[in-house]
Amino acid sequence: MTLGLFIPCYVDQLYPQVGRAAHSLLCQLGHEVVVPARPACCGQPMSNSGYASLSEGCVADFRAEFDRFERIVSPSGSCVLHLKESLEAAHHPLAHRVHELCEFLHDIEKVTSLPARFPHKVGLHSSCHGLRGLGLGRCSECLAPEFSKPAKLLSLVEGLELVTLERPDECCGFGGTFSVFEPDVSVSMGRDRIRDHAGHGAEFITSADMSCLMHLGGLLAREAPQVKAVHIAEILAGCVAEQRG
C-alpha cells in the first residue's frame, strides 16, 4: 500500500539516518512510501509546555497533508501519541490511521521475519509515551500478562541479545521541554537509566522514540561513550552497521 511517512522535525534535522532507516524498512516490505513536505512537527513541544493553542497549526497541517493516506507511519512514539490524542479530541477518524513504526510492523504488517542481523547486547528503553500512551507493551505498574511489541520485533533480529534491566520502564527524564526547564532532575533520571543499561552489559540502547535517545545519547557521549544509542528502526532495517560502524 502507499504509506504516508511522518518524519518529525528533530529527526529530520538531527537524525536523518533514522528517517532513512524507517523509509528503507517500509520500502523493503514492499510499500510505496511518501513523505509530504509540509508538516514538520506534531506540535507536542508547544502543547506539553502549556501552549496547546500554538500546536493547533501543526495538527491542522498534518490533517491536510496526510488525510489522503490509508495508513501513516512514524518512527517516533511520542509524536504519534500527541497526534492521535489531538485528532481524537477533534473526533477526526485519521486518529486511527496514524501508527508508530513498531505498532505498524507488529499489528498491521504482522511481520514474522526481518532480514536484519545485529550480533550485540542491546538494552531496550521503553519510552513512556510508547509504552503507557500507545500501549506498545505492558507497563510494570499494570498487573496484566507481559508483552512488548518492540521486544518481539527485536527478537526477529539475528544475533541480537536483549539485556534484562532492573527498572524495565522507568522514565529517562527527557519529558520534552522538561529536559531544559528541570535539567537537574532530567539528567539525574537519565544517568540512572544509562547506569542500568550499561551495568547489565548493553552495548547499545535502543528505543522506538528518538527523543528519549537524544537525551540518553547525549549523556552517553559524555559519560559512557562505549555505549551507543540507536533507534529501533536502524536495527530492524539492518542499517546500524552502515551508519555507525
Binders of other proteins among residues 157 to 216 (CB under 8 A) are 167, 170-171, 173-176, 178-190, 192, 214-215
Q: Is 132 in the site for other proteins (CB under 8 A)?
A: yes
Binding to other proteins in span 24-53, by CB under 8 A:
32, 34-35, 37-38, 40-41, 43, 45-53
Q: Which stretch binds other proteins (CB under 8 A): 13-21, 88-96, 110-118, 233-241?
A: 13-21
Least separation, in Å, of the C-beta of 222 and other proteins? 6
Q: Is 224 in the site for other proteins (CB under 8 A)?
A: no
SS3 100: strand
DSSP H helices, 67-107, are 77-89, 101-103
Q: Is 16 in the site for other proteins (CB under 8 A)?
A: yes
Per-residue binding letters, 99-128, with other proteins (x by CB under 8 A): -----------------------------x
Q: What separation in angstroms does the CA of 138 have from each of 17, 26, 134? A: 29, 26, 10
Q: Is 219 in the site for other proteins (CB under 8 A)?
A: yes
Q: Which three cell numbers stand for residue 48?
A: 506539553
d(CA 196, CA 71): 36
Q: Give whichever of 11 and 202 is closer to other proteins, judged by the CB atom.
A: 11
Binding to other proteins in span 139-158, by CB under 8 A:
139-144
- Choosing from 28, 61, 92, 121, the residue that interacts with other proteins (CB under 8 A) is 61
d(CA 222, CA 211): 17
Q: Give whichever of 160 and 189 is closer to other proteins, judged by the CB atom.
A: 189
Q: Which stretch binds other proteins (CB under 8 A): 94-102, 117-125, 157-165, 217-225?
A: 217-225
Q: What separation in angstroms does the CA of 75 have from each of 79, 135, 164, 232? A: 9, 15, 24, 9
DSSP state of 96: G
d(CA 101, CA 99): 6
Tell me the sheet residues that pair with 205. 123, 229
d(CA 41, CA 38): 9
- Choosing from 19, 77, 150, 168, the residue that interacts with other proteins (CB under 8 A) is 19
Q: Is 77 in the site for other proteins (CB under 8 A)?
A: no
The beta strand positions in 150-244, using DSSP E, are 161-162, 204-207, 228-231
Q: Give whichever of 87 and 160 is closer to other proteins, judged by the CB atom.
A: 87
Q: Is 89 in the site for other proteins (CB under 8 A)?
A: no
The alpha carbons of the chain give a radius of gyration, in whole angstroms, of: 17
